[in-house]
Structure 1
């Protein structure tokens, strides 16, 4: 153990929260080495204490992160009997400071933040932890494969804007002090906290935290950048009734309209009427998807968020009027030209959102198999759900007297785990002799995945 004063000169206090203090410090061994030093607010009795061992193990993982939009972690020490973290000093302003000064961001600047933070989260959410092999392949979910780092405290205080040598802005995600690699540990630690206004609904419920929890918090930040305020503000953290109300809003209340909030902010800042909302429809949908109450309806990882973002920029996002929350978003411009009946796959932690147009008189539905030479169904669902057979059920298309088609669902193979029509999963399954006539909005379950029938 060392004394802080023997190792560093403290240049200034950057911040002080409930569990730590952060300083700008200069190394006494190397005066050119200026760092951000974070010191946790609890005293260690020895270097073998479990708290310090856990802290040290996590720092060893964080030290390996190497991404331009993620703060660089240098090492850990015990200083003044407290765990201390040495990291890159990022010279710039936090988003919180910028918002306080400017009110809200331009669309262009907001997009810049989204692009860089999505890249940072993509790196973290798909980070391979040495020795931590996936429990199951084919899914992005940390619940299943545990190969991810979750920041767990994304808010405007933890994103700094700095300038590169070329004069362009770089946004850096800092303060991984609440991050974790094993999500099961979050229930037994202070890591469940984070700033209340940015806290995902599942955190309030005490449910397992996953990568979509980061997506929700970033969604709140994006909403705030565009409007100058979070969707659900709170005035006093010490007021029990306010915090209870905030919890219920995150869990159940609809998010205030993004365009209305931006135009209100414009009028307040300029004292001029806002004639129209300047937020592109696809960007509004991106924010809406980030802020879905159910984690399965959000982007699962930073990689999915980034893909949607760049498809939006490229004009590949097809937006229907008053897009329904949770619906499949078509990012393939060729699909918009197709007509006829289709199946919509609702995403969950095992299965990604997909859409299949029924173009044959007999179509098989099953789980995708990417092995060379493997037989595949006509609609091969991309999923890691092992309860879905390779040929699970079938759709029959028959011509009708009016020149159109009628469609029927059957399970005549039959599948081992059953197909459940217009009912909760694992309740009443289709028999091998049943042909269920399909109409708009009918749905059925294969394994843990819900498919919805659409008739154009």
Structure 2
């Protein structure tokens, strides 16, 4: 392969994207003006066409060129242009999932299922792809896919999935940019190439362990979670802050994933300003996402084929969905059946807020909006609500011993909360001051946001 100038071979029509390791252009072939391609140029300069890096690149592109699947971008050829390895591939005219999520907030269940079906098919094809015997097998720089007869994408994220419209009006989802897939298995542990986008990076990759097909499953699980909720489970504000990246690593490796249904319902409320009556995510789909996001790769779907099989079994209602365990801190039972030994709070349900009961067992109890984000400071009594006027630590109950050996209870708002706490009166009237400790007795109630909470004394109903 001779080294050529990019301008001698292509007319650049526009820049599609530029990342840390490459630039991608929409280009027109000068030899065939009807031939519009996406041209990816890697950001490292070759001294000559015999360089080891280029030989590795060529070997890997030879495998990519064999791929033929409707949900995988088609690879045409490789060149050295302006002394840089360059990849000519199919130009897919559409929008990335990232763009759609940023604009629309989240996907419908139907559209999410469409994405899963097509991406599971793409990964099934990749993860079980047979590398023909004439491919290089024994060089020290052999890639992961050559060694394993499996193609691992290694950078699945919403930027790398494009939605294009078919002639019949349906959507085609295309997995693009396999540039991070093909690297030396040892070098992958010592290179930023193995990272992909941090929010989608599997726990084993943070540990520098061997990348394998379940790593793709985890990344796709994060994408599915984001499609359903409009956010990733563990967001990042600033990649340059070392403390944030350390916290992100720990979350991926050990923190529970925020509840999928709760996060979706909050997203729906923020967009529609109306709280949905119930979560619209099928139980089997929740299980699918949970299994994709297992910390231990051995507990995930092993390949796209396993994921696809589970997916279609779910559609056919062949997946048994266990009932969810109730939250230990929230007691949703008939108050008349409670044998009162402690004071408790009763949340009066409304369109934004679930009805709940909470026993006061501590000297100091914080009350606020439910917050299950890993690392967040949660209130003792987390109220299940989409009411954004309720702070995550809104007000407090103090329990003090009285002379008779019992307890007295006081309401306070010492933070103070942004939107105030209102006792025994209509909401939005006089709010408690930061220095007030208001004594509570049976039947007293207070408002936080649009939610009414009633206080009950021990032994009183």
Pair in the same fold by TM > 0.5: yes
Match of 2:240 in 1: 238
Which of 156, 160, 163 aligns to 1:161? It is: 163
For 1:299 and 1:196, the matched residues in 2 are separated by 21
For 1:255 and 1:16, the matched residues in 2 are separated by 31
Q: Deviations over 1:26-60 (max 9, x none)?
A: 00000000000000111100001111111111000
**Is residue 95–residue 157 contact of structure 1 (8 Å, CA) maintained in 2?**
yes
- Is the counterpart of residue 223 in structure 1 residue 225 in structure 2? yes
- Is the counterpart of residue 52 in structure 1 residue 54 in structure 2? yes
Structure 1: which 5+ residue stretches go unaligned? 136-141, 324-456
1:1-400 superposed matches below 5 A: 1-131=3-133, 146-180=148-182, 183-184=185-186, 186-322=188-324
- In the alignment of these two chains, the number of paired residues is 317
RMSD: 2.0
Question: Which consecutive segments of 4 or more residues in structure 1 shift more than 3 A?
Answer: 142-145, 181-185
Q: Offset of 1:165 from its aligned partner?
A: 1.5
**Is residue 147–residue 181 contact of structure 1 (8 Å, CA) maintained in 2?**
no
Q: Deviations over 1:212-251 (max 9, x none)?
A: 0000000000000000000000011000000000000000
For 2:281 and 2:7, the matched residues in 1 are separated by 50
Q: Offset of 1:187 from its aligned partner?
A: 2.2
For 1:184 and 1:265, the matched residues in 2 are separated by 41
**Is residue 68–residue 172 contact of structure 1 (8 Å, CA) maintained in 2?**
yes
Q: Offset of 1:192 from its aligned partner?
A: 1.0
**Is residue 145–residue 151 contact of structure 2 (8 Å, CA) maintained in 1?**
no
**Is residue 143–residue 210 contact of structure 1 (8 Å, CA) maintained in 2?**
no
Which one has the largest radius of gyration? 2
For 2:195 and 2:146, the matched residues in 1 are separated by 23
Q: Deviations over 1:326-385 (max 9, x none)?
A: xxxxxxxxxxxxxxxxxxxxxxxxxxxxxxxxxxxxxxxxxxxxxxxxxxxxxxxxxxxx
Q: Offset of 1:175 from its aligned partner?
A: 0.3
Q: Offset of 1:180 from its aligned partner?
A: 2.9
For 1:183 and 1:122, the matched residues in 2 are separated by 22
Q: Deviations over 1:127-155 (max 9, x none)?
A: 0011289x9xxxxxx89971100000000
Q: Offset of 1:272 from its aligned partner?
A: 0.9
For 1:146 and 1:190, the matched residues in 2 are separated by 22
Q: Offset of 1:186 from its aligned partner?
A: 2.4
Q: Offset of 1:118 from its aligned partner?
A: 0.1
Structure 2: which 5+ residue stretches go unaligned? 138-143, 326-461
For 1:185 and 1:58, the matched residues in 2 are separated by 15
**Is residue 72–residue 175 contact of structure 2 (8 Å, CA) maintained in 1?**
yes
